[in-house]
Amino acid sequence: MGRAKRAPPNESTTLLVGLASLGPPYVTDILVWYNMNNNYRQLLMQPKYAFTALVFTILLGNAALTTAETPIRIDCEFPGGNIILERIENSTVFVRPDLRDTKGNWFYWSFRVRGAEGGELTFRFNRNVIGVRGPAVSCNEGKSWRWLYGKALKSPQNSFTYKFGPDEKSVRFCVAMPYQKGNLGALFKKYSARNDFVVEHHATSRKGRDVPRFRFGSIRSEPKYRILLTCRHHACEMMASWTLEGLVDTVMANDSRGEWLRENVEFLCIPMVDLDGVEDGDQGKNRKPHDHNRDYYPEPPIYPEVAAIKQFVPKWSKGRLRMALDLHCPFLYGKSNVKGGNQSLFFVGNPKEDSFEKLMSFSKILEEVLKGPIKYDSRRNLPWGESWNTLKEPRMFARWADNLPGISIATVLEIPYADISGEPVTIESARALGADLAAAIERWLKRQAENQ
């Protein structure tokens, strides 16, 4: 529903990609033109281009035949897809992220290669948009993912080479491990029969999508505490969604932790604030005129999802909201041994008096309960006033939530895309971090009760 229209891949794509790979600038221009316009079918329907293609096919008979025998198709026609194919020279594919309405540069991309089985291709980007563990790779249409490199590199890259196995007819590559609306649907299905889990309509997106929210835990009676979880204010920050899922599963688990959390806490979650961006494969971050996480101030919000959060949450919280946690991913790569380092896990502080102190006490608890492979050191938290954390106006979700009645902690957790101090961020480790967050929430609430 409402997906941005892009031309479906077809045999014409194959022909043009094949011809462009032969190198004549004229054909390359056609390919660039045709990619920029996203209008493949129409292009080939124009007699002059169809004729040009035919002439090349005849003139370069052998090469064209080779193309026909080994058609390589590169596309992004699936949820979250994003790539601009510039040209192919021999076995090097020149690509770049589709920035769309992004202010400046960003690094999200996700594409599929078909018909390259048994071969080897190098993918060269226009910038360093590949993290230190290389691309995430999926050979089963996105059902499972792995990092290409077993060990983290010292620096980001602008290219990678992939040797396609003889049976790898369709391989996806992405800057990290995608989490789409389909993944969320699977999560909802898992708990659809439970009476302590409910999915609701949150808002209708600007492109007409039904943006969901869900509540779980103590939803049938007035809870002791309320906790608000948000994710994908920035569409591309998908690793955060795996952590969110790990947290939800831990709360829903049939063990003493899950039971205590469900008995005492009502969780509200808006899992994909920028659902349009998630599904269309937008960067989302630094969207013009401003992105979803810069839409809380001044009034009125320009995004329906943010307007709905501002309207619904104060009514729902009834003074029992204790924590608002907004899950993000930072920049693609960076340092691990500094405050707010992009290869470290860190919380972001607010300017309100004693809020950082409260955040630090929760952070210490997270350090105590940490069981998963992801390392966390509370000294990496980024206090207000340091590095980029200096925005004066309360334009961000966490700053807005920090003023809700009764709240103790409103913060952003930045979960790196690929690597934390040498430890890979994967679907499994990101989910394990979610479980650790749930454990920390339980201990933190219990301690608060003890101290009252």
Task: Copy the structure tokens of residue 45.
Answer: 């329907």
Nearest-angstrom CA–CA distance, 121 and 173: 12
CB of 22 to Zn ion, least distance (A): 42
Stretch that binds Zn ion, among 47-55, 99-107, 237-245, 266-274 (CB under 5 A): 237-245
CB of 333 to Zn ion, least distance (A): 15
CB of 291 to Zn ion, least distance (A): 8
Task: Copy the structure tokens of residue 203.
Answer: 């808002």
Based on CB atoms, which residue is closest to Zn ion, 85 or 329?
A: 329
Based on CB atoms, which residue is closest to Zn ion, 171 or 415?
A: 415
Based on CB atoms, which residue is closest to Zn ion, 234 or 399?
A: 234
Based on CB atoms, which residue is closest to Zn ion, 120 or 393?
A: 393
Based on CB atoms, which residue is closest to Zn ion, 75 or 237?
A: 237
Based on CB atoms, which residue is closest to Zn ion, 86 or 237?
A: 237
CB of 234 to Zn ion, least distance (A): 4
CB of 281 to Zn ion, least distance (A): 16
Based on CB atoms, which residue is closest to Zn ion, 237 or 436?
A: 237
How many CA atoms lie less than 13 Å away from 420 in the CB half-sphere?
Answer: 23
Q: Examine residue 234 and tell whether it contacts Zn ion (CB under 5 A).
A: yes
CB of 435 to Zn ion, least distance (A): 22
CA distances (Å), 417 to each of 146, 150, 155, 276, 288, in order?
A: 13, 15, 14, 21, 23
Stretch that binds Zn ion, among 197-205, 226-234, 265-273, 312-320 (CB under 5 A): 226-234
Q: Examine residue 287 and tell whether it contacts Zn ion (CB under 5 A).
A: no
Contacts to Zn ion from residues 324-343, by CB under 5 A: 328
CA distances (Å), 113 to each of 135, 137, 162, 164, 186, in order?
A: 13, 11, 11, 10, 26
- Residue 294: CB partners within 8 Å, gap ≥ 6? 395, 396
CB of 260 to Zn ion, least distance (A): 31
Contacts to Zn ion from residues 191-220, by CB under 5 A: none
- Residue 52: CB partners within 8 Å, gap ≥ 6? 26, 27, 30
Note whether 252 and 258 are within 8 A (CB). yes
Tell me the β-bridge partners of 266.
217, 226
* Tokens 């200096």, located at residue: 390
Note whether 188 and 214 are within 8 A (CB). yes
Nearest-angstrom CA–CA distance, 242 and 337: 24
Residues that bind Zn ion (CB under 5 A): 234, 237, 328
